[in-house]
Amino acid sequence: MQKEITLELKNITKTFGKTVANKNVNLTVRKGEILSLLGENGSGKTTLMNMISGIYYPDEGQIFINGEEVKIGSPENAYTYGIGMIHQHFKLVDIFTAAENIVLGVKDGTKFNIKDVNSRVEQIASKYGFNIDVKKQIYEMSVSEKQTVEIIKVLYRGADILILDEPTAVLTPQEIKKLFDVLRRMKEDGKSIIIITHKLNEVMEISDRVSILRKGEYIGTVNTCETSENELTEMMVGKKVELKITRTQTNFDKPLLEVRNLSVKGDDGSKKVNDVNFYIRGGEILGVAGVAGCGQKELCEAIAGLRKVDDGLIMHKGESIIGKPANEIIEMGISMSFIPEDRLGMGLAPNFSITDNMMLKTFRESKKFTVDGEKLKGQPKWKAFLLKSWCAVKNVAHMPFVDRKAARKRATELIKRLEIVTPSTETPIRRLSGGNVQKVLVGREIESNPNVIVTAYPVRGLDINSSYVIYDMLNEEKKKGTGILFIGEDLDVMMALCDKIMVLCHGKNMGIVHASKTTKEELGLMMTGALDLSDAKQKEYGKAKDSNLTDEQWLEKEQQEQQAKEERNDG
């Protein structure tokens, strides 16, 4: 039975300057179905959806709604055609309440009265099974609540075609389940839903049909029940991809980073990391699992020297790094990359080019000149001396300047290796798509040749191909003997990639398990705090047997730290 078509795109083309974002894209959406739009980063999914919702205007092609050709000139216009978009980066006014945000821009001719709005919003929420406090201000909300506001916002306007841009990228498994329930209820209600996502298991679970874009071009549409994850990947990437993470076996070295009794306070003054013990060896990947916001960020920042340590020790090769400024910690070879929930914030300057962003980390290095040994051979002594001193002079003279050429070379290498889609090394990174920006950040941290990598959510929102490139990079680093702290979301990935997994629950270490011996259920129980392995074992939990320091030295360090702390407090 063919349901009627609500939205149809024919030969849509859109270019930005030299970049072709969409080329001859065709798409149909039917009433009461969920269509997945699949494609890698930079394949033009978001651009396409922005054209449907009136933010951009297509250069060529036609849009039909319920069989009639329309021109969608503005978001307001899109609403009149019943199209509502839930953006990947939420467009909400922080200091407004949920209800105020929802009613914003609505012109229904009725007298504006916030109480009526509140009750209408509650009505919609109960109809589709949302949980929402209409009087709560946005800045006090979690990501999932904000998303709920966005969805109700378009429903309030009576949208029949809903577009969700990567709605699950920032949600926990439970929140995703809730969202999908809501989506199914909307589908039964006769709404057409387009959902953009990279996660293939979600595509298989929720959608009726899948349309695939690759590098701006339309590849095809398949029925979900007639396809498989492997086929979809092939269509999306254009070649067969092995969907398997290999765990490289290495010989573990001595512990590189040892953390004992670490406590760190969060921004609000509450204890976010509570008495945590663990260690990372060279050539080991230690995964950190946990529900969002249970101390991962604070742990990262404490190790990177960006956050004050409340109590405990962090030892790098037997040397304390507490109280050291961030740049010294970087010089010791500890690198951190943290991909925040909204993926844009930390670590990169949006108006800088890739080259400039590479230099942000390496600005202390200037061009180094050395004398070629071959050249010196057979030269008289005075000439060799002159050549050497000239070289030294050149080095001194270049000290105030950064080495742009080297940075550009590194940028070019990075673009090639990670297949970053960008017009050039000099394009400001804010012009790149979200996933590409992320590749630059993670790539830069790995390029700086650290011996400890702390990386949080490095593949957040990345497509399959890029994710695997990043896993490969981490594995390669591991082979080199680097210790890696991998803070992740996807338990399947962590169980395949990591050697051990530490589970945090409200900042407390619930136990460290071998990835090959644990189960998803066990990890899940630990994440919610129902299972605490650290209690069952003895006091030495999370402390390496072959530590760099003897017990006496640890005690001494502890006392030193205590003293230093008191001195700081006195001063």
Partner 1 sequence: MIMFLQNAIRCSAAFMFGCLGEIITEKSGHLNLGIPGIMCGGVAGGCLSCYLYMGAIPDYTQPSYILLLLIGIIGAVLSGVFLGSIYAFLTVTLKCNQNITGLALTIFGTGFTDIVMQLMDVTKRKQYFSIASTYIAKPLPFAQNLGWFGELFLSYGALVYLAIALCIATGIILKKTRVGLHLRAVGENPAAADAVGIKVDTYKYGSILTGSSVAAIGGFFYVMDLVQGLYNQYQPVEAVGWLAIALVIFTLWRPYLAIAGSVLFGALYTVSNFMDVSSQITNALISFIPYVVTVIVLLSVSVIGSKNVQPPSSLGLNYFREDR
The binding site for partner 1 (CB under 8 A) comprises 53, 55-56, 74-79, 85, 87, 91-96, 100-101, 103-107, 112, 137, 139, 153, 430-431
CB of 108 to partner 1, least distance (A): 10
DSSP per residue, 128-153: HT----TTSBGGGS-HHHHHHHHHHH
Placement of tokens 């396409």 in the chain: 48
Is the Cβ–Cβ distance between 515 and 287 less than 8 Å?
Answer: yes
Q: Tell me the β-bridge partners of 220.
A: 212
Cα–Cα separations (whole angstroms), residue 105 to 87, 157, 179? 17, 10, 25
User: Burial of 569 by CB count in 10 Å (0-12 exposed, 13-18 middle, 19+ buried)?
Assistant: exposed
- Among 490, 485, 517, which Cα is nearest to 502's? 485
Q: Compare residues 103 and 354 and give the one whose CB is closer to partner 1.
A: 103
CB of 91 to partner 1, least distance (A): 4
CB of 117 to partner 1, least distance (A): 10
CB of 165 to partner 1, least distance (A): 12
DSSP per residue, 395-422: HHHTTTS--HHHHHHHHHHHHHHHT---
504: CB partners within 8 A, 6+ apart: 273, 276, 288, 289, 290, 294, 295, 296, 299, 510
Q: Compare residues 104 and 564 and give the one whose CB is closer to partner 1.
A: 104
Q: Compare residues 77 and 412 and give the one whose CB is closer to partner 1.
A: 77
Q: Compare residues 21 and 195 and give the one whose CB is closer to partner 1.
A: 21
3-state secondary structure (DSSP) of residue 118? helix
Count the helix, strand and coil residues of the chain and give each as a percent rounded to the nearest 5. Answer: 40, 25, 40
Q: DSSP code of 4?
A: P
Q: Compare residues 164 and 523 and give the one whose CB is closer to partner 1.
A: 164
User: Helices in 238-363 by DSSP H: which ranges?
Assistant: 296-303, 326-331, 354-362
Output the six-digit token pair for 254.
């001595």
Q: Compare residues 78 and 314 and give the one whose CB is closer to partner 1.
A: 78
The helix (run of H) or strand (run of E) holding residue 175 is: helix 173-188
Output the six-digit token pair for 37.
């739009």
CB of 150 to partner 1, least distance (A): 10
Write a three-state SS string for 52-63: HCCCCCCCEEEE
CB of 76 to partner 1, least distance (A): 3
CB of 271 to partner 1, least distance (A): 21
CB of 212 to partner 1, least distance (A): 24
Q: Compare residues 155 and 222 and give the one whose CB is closer to partner 1.
A: 155
CB of 515 to partner 1, least distance (A): 38
Residue 83 to residue 48: CA distance in whole angstroms: 13
Placement of tokens 């070379």 in the chain: 409
Q: Compare residues 14 and 307 and give the one whose CB is closer to partner 1.
A: 14
- Among 305, 299, 317, 307, which Cα is nearest to 262's? 299
Q: Compare residues 17 and 378 and give the one whose CB is closer to partner 1.
A: 17
CB of 343 to partner 1, least distance (A): 13
CB of 430 to partner 1, least distance (A): 6
Is the Cβ–Cβ distance between 206 and 229 less than 8 Å?
Answer: no
Q: Compare residues 80 and 449 and give the one whose CB is closer to partner 1.
A: 80
Q: Compare residues 216 and 287 and give the one whose CB is closer to partner 1.
A: 216
Q: Compare residues 139 and 390 and give the one whose CB is closer to partner 1.
A: 139
Is the Cβ–Cβ distance between 551 and 540 less than 8 Å?
Answer: no
Instruction: List the end-to-end C-alpha distance of the chain, in Å, as a whole number.
Output: 78
Residue 402 to residue 430: CA distance in whole angstroms: 23
CB of 416 to partner 1, least distance (A): 24
